[in-house]
Structure 1
Amino acid sequence: MSTPQPDASRPSEVRAAEDRATPDNLLHTRNGTDVSPEDIVLAAGRDLTDRNLEWARRKLADEGPAALDKLLP
């Protein structure tokens, strides 16, 4: 089985762009759904405990759905 080769017919700039990570300003952290305290806890890399869920509820109350955006790139 052979390994795929880059498409030589495409410009090298296009091939190079495909190999880079997506810039932060093009990433989207939410899909339009409501943000839950569980989402906040998991995005912060914490365990789903009562204490962390309460922290997330307070954070959501203070910052709204933007709280999730602040935790993710």
Structure 2
Amino acid sequence: MSTTQPDASRPSGARTYDDRVTPDKLLHTRNGTEVSPEDLVLAAGRDITPHNLEWAKRKLAAEGPAAVDKLLP
């Protein structure tokens, strides 16, 4: 039986793959849910700023909720 801990072998402050990857359950959209401009901005990997929210509003007006599906797996 091993007594070493997985985190003990990493340098202090080192990040693992799991620390950097967004879980799938947070990436996928559900059918029938309303998509907000904030959702679209975050799905695009952008910061929520007035400029980006305006971009998202225009994109949602043109493409509808499918706009977020084009950004997510």
| Equivalence map 1:1-73=2 (5 Å) | 28-73=28-73
Q: CA-to-partner distance for each residue in 1:14-72, whole Å, 9 max, x for gaps?
A: xxxxxxxxxxxxxx522521000000000000000000000000000000000000000
What TM-score does the superposition give when structure 2 sets the normalisation length?
0.59
Letter in 2 for 1:65: P
- Equivalent position SS for 1:71: coil
Q: How many aligned residue pairs are there? A: 48
Query: RMSD in angstroms over aligned alpha carbons?
Result: 1.6
Q: Which consecutive residues of structure 1, in runs of 5 or more, have no partner in the other structure?
A: 3-27
Q: Which consecutive residues of structure 2, in runs of 5 or more, have no partner in the other structure?
A: 3-27
What TM-score does the superposition give when structure 1 sets the normalisation length?
0.59
Identity rate of aligned residues, in percent?
A: 83
Misfit runs of 4+, over 3 Å:
none
